[in-house]
Amino acid sequence: MNQARRTARYLRATPLPHVAAGLCLAACLGLAALALRLAPSHPLESAALAGLAAVWLGLGLVALADGLARFREFVRLRRMLARYGFRPRILRPAAGSRCQRDAALAAATEAGCAAEARAYFRSLGYTPLHLVPDRVAAAPQLLLSPAFVAETFLPRRRSSRRTG
């Protein structure tokens, strides 16, 4: 597969994190340009703007890291859907956030079961306007939790063994 097709697949599987990263980068560049313009005459204000630019750059990098994690999830889901066909229990863990649903829908499209996947997410009550992850909507302070960050960026395999 050529590089252009790989890039298109990557962006199709992870559109929201890359839009967010682009907006963060635009904010970073705008603030940095303003900081450089103000540097000779207003050094304190320039430093504050440079700090804000660094924050926006950091947020953009976090969005890119999220995009990479979602792409890994896309690859995993695509393989499972290609192997087993459409099964709701494959897609259920991806229902909690818009980025995960986008990756799952892209995987389902490549596996040939896009209509079933869209119908499944609709049956759970999700529309394209559901942007905030369910867990964050229920408890906004969760965004600052180390466990949430680790789960978001370092997805792990679920054990097939059942305890009990």
Q: 138 pLDDT exceeds 90?
A: no
**Residue 133 belongs to domain spanning:** 3-153
Tell me which DSSP letter residue 159 carries.
P
- Is residue 161 in a domain? no
Does 159 fall in a domain?
A: no
80 in any annotated domain: yes
Position 135 scores a pLDDT of 76
Which one-letter DSSP state was computed for residue 157?
P
Percent of the chain with pLDDT over 70: 91
pLDDT tens-digit series, residues 114-129:
999 999 999 998 888 7
Q: Is the pLDDT of residue 140 over 90?
A: no
> Within a domain: residue 92?
yes
- Give the pLDDT confidence score for residue 156 in this predicted structure: 61
Residue 158 lies in a domain: no
Burial class (CB in 10 A: 0-12, 13-18, 19+), 116: middle
The C-alpha torsion from 37 through 60 and 130 to 123, rounded to 10°, is 160
pLDDT for residue 13? 92
Residue 160 within any structural domain of the chain:
no
Q: Label residue 21 by pLDDT band (50, 70, 90).
A: very high
Number of domains the chain contains: 1
82 falls within a domain: yes
- Residue 55: inside a domain: yes
The tokens of 93 are what? 């863990």
What pLDDT is stored for residue 141 in this prediction? 77
- Span 27-85, pLDDT tens digits: 999 999 999 999 889 999 999 999 999 999 999 999 999 999 999 999 999 999 999 99
